[in-house]
Structure 1
Amino acid sequence: MDLQIMKRSRRDDGKEPRVETTVANEEGYDDCSITRLPEACLAHAISLTTPMDACRSSAVSSAFQKAASSDTVWERFLPPGYTSILDRADHPVDLTSTKKELFLNLAQDHVLLDQGTKSFWLEQTSGAKCYMLSSRSLMIILADNPIYWRQSYLPDSRFEEAAELLSVCWFEMSGNIDCTELSPNTQYAAYLVFNLADESYGLDCPTQEASITIRDLMVSAKRTVSLHPRTTAQETPPCGSGGGCLGTRGGDERGGGGRAEEESTVSYPRERGDGWMEVELGEFYNHYGDTGMVAIRLTETVQLHWKKGLILEGVEIRPKS
Structure 2
Amino acid sequence: MSKSQWIPAQQLTIHKEKEGWISTHPPGCKSTVVYELRNATLLDIGGKIDAKNLIKNKVYNAYLVFKLKEGSKGLEQAKALVRFAVDVVQGVDHQATDVSLVGQIPRQLNYGWKEIKLGDFQPDEEDKGLVEMRLFEKETGKPKSGLIVKGIEVRTT
Distance of 1:156 and 1:287 partners within structure 2: 41
| Alpha-carbon distance change, 158 to 228 in structure 1, aligned in 2, over 3 angstroms | farther
Aligned to 2:107: 270
How do 1:1-321 residues align onto structure 2 when only pairs under 5 Å count?
79=1, 128-142=2-16, 145=18, 147-155=19-27, 160-205=32-77, 208-217=78-87, 221-230=95-104, 268-320=105-157
| Alpha-carbon distance change, 199 to 174 in structure 1, aligned in 2, over 3 angstroms | same
Deviation per residue, 1:63-88 (Å, 9 max, x gap): xxxxxxxxxxxxxxxx4xxxxxxxxx
TM-score of the two chains, using structure 1 as the length reference: 0.44
Q: For residue 100 of structure 2, what is the amino acid of its counterpart?
A: S
- Alpha-carbon deviation of 1:158? 9.4
Q: For residue 25 of structure 2, what is the amino acid of its counterpart?
A: Y
Distance of 2:82 and 2:76 partners within structure 1: 20
Check the 8 A contact 2:86/2:129 in 1, yes or no: no
Check the 8 A contact 1:202/1:305 in 2, yes or no: yes
| Alpha-carbon distance change, 227 to 274 in structure 1, aligned in 2, over 3 angstroms | same
Overall identity of the aligned pairs, in %: 31
Check the 8 A contact 1:157/1:313 in 2, yes or no: no
| RMSD, matched Cα | 2.2
Could you say which structure has the greater relative contact order, defined with CA pairs below 8 angstroms and 6 or more residues apart? 2
Distance of 2:148 and 2:48 partners within structure 1: 20
Distance of 1:176 and 1:302 partners within structure 2: 23
- Alpha-carbon deviation of 1:137? 0.5
Larger Rg: 1
Q: Note the residue ranges of structure 1 that are not aligned, 5 or more in a row.
A: 1-78, 80-127, 231-267
- Alpha-carbon deviation of 1:192? 0.5
Q: For residue 173 of structure 1, what is the amino acid of its counterpart?
A: I
Q: For residue 176 of structure 1, what is the amino acid of its counterpart?
A: K
Q: Which has the higher strand share?
A: 2
Check the 8 A contact 1:189/1:318 in 2, yes or no: yes
Q: For residue 38 of structure 2, what is the amino acid of its counterpart?
A: L
| Alpha-carbon distance change, 211 to 142 in structure 1, aligned in 2, over 3 angstroms | same
Q: Which has the higher helix share?
A: 1
SS at match of 1:286: coil
Distance of 2:62 and 2:84 partners within structure 1: 13
Distance of 1:163 and 1:133 partners within structure 2: 13
Deviation per residue, 1:228-253 (Å, 9 max, x gap): 143xxxxxxxxxxxxxxxxxxxxxxx
